[in-house]
Structure 1
Amino acid sequence: MNPSTVSLTDVKQMRALAHPLRLRILGELRAGGPSTAGRLGDLVDEAPGTLSYHLGKLAQFGFVEEAPELSTDRRERWWRALHEYTAIPSTSDADSAAETVAIAALRHRVVDVYAATLHQSVDASTELTADWSAAGTSADTLAHLTAAQLAEASAELGAVLEKWHAASNATGEGAEPVQLIVHAFRRP
């Protein structure tokens, strides 16, 4: 099964998602499945009222939806992510200066979320068993490539992500959530 992806094409949609808390909420719903504002509040250390507002904004722009079938009473509101992935266009695909700014702002916020996640993983690594601690990696390399070679390397890295996403089994014995983060870019 191919994962579902939302492709961003609207500046307002990009601006709405560029909020750091909204990115975290969407990430938590994607990783952990449906949740309530109260449960999400415990995960991201925010008040349920604040989360309800941001969940409403995410719903307005098509990132999440309510999941009323999960409610146990009329006051409980459950939410779920509508897609597994978000495709952010390249700034070279922008049709206007406003779109270029919106794409760059969103990409900055995504990098911030990745950095925060990496920092959290370093902090949590002291609590991991030896096998989990040794299994992870963080590495980089510098290569001198053409734009075509970089595109090829990016496609290969994308295929690695797809391979391990397809092999994922949340209910498998010993399986834990693992985040694979890839970046390939021309060095500034």
Structure 2
Amino acid sequence: MPKDSTENTEHRPAGGKGGTDRPSPRVLNERSLRGLAHPLRIQLLNALRRNGPATASQLGKRLGESSGATSYHLRQLAEFGFVEDAPEHGKGRERWWRAVEGGITYDGRLVNQRDPEIRGAADVLMHEVAAEHYRELTGWIADRAQWTEEWAEVGDMSDITLRLTAGRLAELTRKLHELVDSFESPALAGEEGAEEVRVHLHALPFRPVPPARD
């Protein structure tokens, strides 16, 4: 069965290996999935992964939340091993947090668990990832004029319909991840003019709605 995955910075199937020395992704189990499956916790982890270490107050301002709420959910993330203290950034009583290295992935079979709590946690995680993709996509459209013409022309929004078996879809997903991995290397990242690029891969089974009968 194909795996669903989320790193909120990058997305890979469980067990996937990139072309760099990045840590292997952490495979969520039932307990850690429940610990992560809260919209604010996912957003906090996202923010730390994308922007680096921060305090609860800084994250609260960035996300429009109280520092009390962000502090509580950061402690919960730490309990489940998603974030940790970043003492080298602290000054006085300030507590800084950073994301634990490595991606996050989970087995798609968690979605089909009989336990409604586990299925609900998986749904929360998937919906928040989809919401983040939407925010990034609409943000790109809104800010497109701020990029040079060269960059504005190379952003891609495509959709293609294929007819595949489940096995062929799994093969397509694997090859797409391998292709993306082949573009990732420290040498390429340091090229002059390089920018951070977000790649969203969506490959979903779909049944067209039949035409209504008269």
Report the TM range for the smaller structure's normalisation: 0.7 to 0.9
Residue of structure 2 equivalent to 1:8: 28
Query: Relative to total residues, which structure has the larger helix share, 1 or 2?
Result: 1
Residue number among 99, 106, 113 corresponding to 1:81 in the alignment: 99
Tell whether 2:131 aligns with 1:112.
Answer: yes
**In the TM superposition, what is the alpha-carbon distance from 1:68 to its structure 2 partner?**
1.0
**In the TM superposition, what is the alpha-carbon distance from 1:66 to its structure 2 partner?**
0.8
**In the TM superposition, what is the alpha-carbon distance from 1:137 to its structure 2 partner?**
0.7
Tell whether 2:150 aligns with 1:131.
Answer: yes
Residue of structure 1 equivalent to 2:174: 155
**In the TM superposition, what is the alpha-carbon distance from 1:129 to its structure 2 partner?**
1.6
The range that moved more, 175-184 or 32-41, is 32-41
- Residues 139 and 157 from structure 1, CA distance in 2 versus in 1: closer, same or farther, beyond 3 angstroms? same
Is the radius of gyration larger for structure 1 or structure 2? 2
Q: Which runs of 5+ in 1 are unaligned?
A: none
TM-score (normalised: structure 1) = 0.85
Higher relative contact order (CA 8 A, sep 6+): 2
Please list, as runs of the form range in 1=range in 2, the aligned pairs for 1:32-181 lying within 5 A after superposition. 32-71=51-90, 73-91=91-109, 95-98=113-116, 99-166=118-185, 172-181=191-200
Alignment size in residue pairs: 186
Identity of paired residues, percent? Answer: 35
- Residues 104 and 91 from structure 1, CA distance in 2 versus in 1: closer, same or farther, beyond 3 angstroms? farther
Q: Give CA-to-partner distance per residue, 1:91-116, whole Å, 9 cap, x none.
A: 36755433333223321221122112
Q: Which runs of 5+ in 2 are unaligned?
A: 1-20, 208-214
